[in-house]
């Protein structure tokens, strides 16, 4: 037995071994680098129902806490107003989060009050929500979905008992675009919840009926009305300015035709506008920055829109470059 012999390979043998090594390398590389979890899809029809229920559950907490508030300040806004947060903000946040996570434990949710630690108190997950039975199922990858929630919009006015401006909001964005918006008015005596799914359906109370006023009606934020009033008076004629609070409230005023435009001059958080953006888009309108740029809702690495806001159903270009 010659244990010290030399193994000689011909060209065919070398090709076979080289091919085997290449196949092994490709297999190891692809299996080791592909660490993504298995594909999980969500039915947006079912998510719409859950989103409506979540916004309504948040609204119940807002109403329940109105006479037993603890108010804190996060500091001053750029306009010099107190940026308030209350126990109602926290309770609503937890109710909305629990409702969404109960149905979809791995859902990516972006909230204004993300640091809140929620207790184990049970809430109503199963209450009835009415959406059209004719709606088709529509599946999307869960990794492409971000849900933006505002547990209590118009907190400052809420603490001052100006309840008509108060809303709770849930928005579903798919691949950065807002596709489902829910705006709930917890203090309305009727028509509490407004919702829309872009290209699919909208709630029966979302009926656009433009004001018969000959003047252009523009809604703006109470917190910085002086600045934009001056600018609009210099650049536009026959304009009626309406001051209001809450981005959700103002977006709905546009969607319902009560005003022609909602203009905002300063930075605004995306959880304040995502639901309104989806609703405006679903009813044929447009929400952009003041430079006519669309707003993306990808993830929580960029939660602020720094470039102002123009919201309209018609004649959008009329307001671009006016402030």
Same domain, 69 and 196: yes
What is the sign, positive or negative, of the torsion defined by CA atoms of 310, 203, 59, 159? positive
pTM: 0.85
> Which is more confident, 292 or 223?
292
Q: Are residues 76 and 108 in the same domain?
A: yes
pLDDT band for 117, please (50, 70, 90 cuts). Answer: confident
Strand-pair category, 167-174 with 145-153 = antiparallel
Look at residue 109 and tell me whether its pLDDT is greater than 90.
Answer: yes
SS (H, E, C) the chain: CCCCCCCCCCHHHHHHHHHHHHHHHHHHHHHHHCCCCCCCEEEHHHHHHHHHHHHHHHHHHHHHCCCCCCEEEEEECCCCCEEEEEHHHHHHHHHHHHHHHHHCCCCCEEECCCCCCCCCCCCCCCCCCCCCCCCCCCEEEHHHEEEEEEEEECHHHHHCCCHHHCEEEEEEEECCEEEEEEEECCCCCCCCEEEEECCCEECCCCCCCCCCCCCEEEEEEHHHHHHHHHHHHHHCCCEEEEEECCHHHHHHHHHCCCCCEEEECCCEEHHHHHHHHHHHHHCCCEEECCCCCCCCCCCCCCCEECCCEEEECCCHHHHCCCC
**Taking all residues of the chain, what is their mean pLDDT, rounded to a whole number?**
87
Q: What is the pLDDT of residue 2?
A: 47
Query: Do residues 185 and 226 both lie within one domain?
Result: no
Our count of domains for the chain comes to 2
- The residue-averaged pLDDT of 285-292 equals 98
The pLDDT-based confidence of 26 (bands split at 50, 70, 90) is low
Residue 115: per-residue pLDDT = 77
Asked if residue 125 and residue 82 are part of one domain, the reply reads yes
Residue 5 counted as domain residue: no
Does residue 297 form part of some domain?
A: yes
pLDDT for residue 80 is more than 60: no
Same-domain pairing of 182 and 281: no
144 in the same domain as 223: no
How much is the pLDDT for 28? 46
* Binding site, annotated residues for Mg(2+): 112, 150, 152-153, 272
Q: Which comes out higher in pLDDT, residue 257 or 23? A: 257
**Mean pLDDT over residues 267-285, rounded?**
97
Q: How confident is the model at residue 34 (pLDDT cuts 50, 70, 90)?
A: very low
Domain membership of residue 165 as a residue range: 41-202
Whether 76 maps to a domain, the answer reads yes
Could you tell me if residue 26 is inside a domain?
no
pLDDT at residue 29, as a whole number? 45
The candidate with the shortest Cα–Cα distance to 263, out of 211, 225, 298, is 225
pLDDT in tens, 171-198: 999 999 999 999 999 999 887 999 999 9
pLDDT the model gives residue 31: 46
pLDDT in tens, 300-315: 889 999 999 999 999 9
Which of 167, 202, 237 lies at the terminal end of a domain, its last residue?
202
pLDDT (tens digit per residue) in 124-181? 887 778 899 899 999 999 999 999 999 999 999 999 999 999 999 999 999 999 999 9
* Beta strands across the sheet bearing 239-244: 239-244, 216-221, 261-264, 309-312, 286-288
């Amino acid at each position: 037995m010659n244990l010290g012999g030399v193994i000689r390979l011909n060209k065919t043998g070398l090709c076979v071994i080289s091919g085997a090594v290449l196949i092994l390398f490709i297999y190891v590389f692809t299996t080791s680098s592909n660490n993504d979890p298995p594909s999980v899809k969500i039915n947006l029809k079912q998510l719409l129902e859950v989103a409506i229920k979540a916004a309504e559950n948040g609204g119940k907490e807002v109403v329940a806490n109105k006479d037993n508030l603890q108010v804190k300040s996060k500091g001053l806004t750029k306009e010099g107003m107190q940026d308030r947060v209350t126990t109602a903000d926290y309770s609503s946040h937890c109710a909305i989060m629990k409702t969404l996570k109960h149905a979809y434990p791995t859902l990516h949710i972006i909230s204004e009050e993300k640091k809140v630690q929620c207790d184990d108190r049970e809430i109503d997950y199963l209450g009835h929500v009415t959406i059209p039975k004719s709606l088709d199922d529509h599946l999307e990858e869960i990794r492409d979905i971000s849900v933006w929630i505002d547990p209590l919009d118009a907190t400052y006015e809420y603490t001052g008992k100006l309840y008509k401006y108060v809303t709770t909001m849930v928005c579903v964005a798919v691949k950065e675009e807002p596709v489902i918006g829910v705006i709930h008015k917890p203090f309305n005596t009727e028509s509490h919840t407004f919702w829309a799914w872009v290209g699919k359906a909208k709630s029966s109370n979302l009926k656009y009926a433009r004001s018969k006023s000959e003047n252009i009606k523009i809604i703006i934020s109470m917190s910085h009305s002086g600045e934009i009033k001056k600018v609009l008076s210099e650049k536009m004629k026959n304009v009626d300015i309406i001051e209001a609070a809450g981005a959700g409230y103002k977006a709905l005023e546009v969607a319902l035709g009560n005003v022609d435009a909602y203009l905002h001059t300063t930075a605004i958080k995306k959880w304040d506008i995502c639901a309104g953006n989806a609703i405006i888009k679903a009813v044929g309108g447009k929400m952009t920055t003041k430079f006519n740029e669309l707003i993306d809702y990808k993830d929580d690495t960029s939660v602020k829109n720094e470039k102002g806001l123009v919201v309209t159903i018609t004649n959008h270009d009329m307001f671009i470059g006016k402030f």
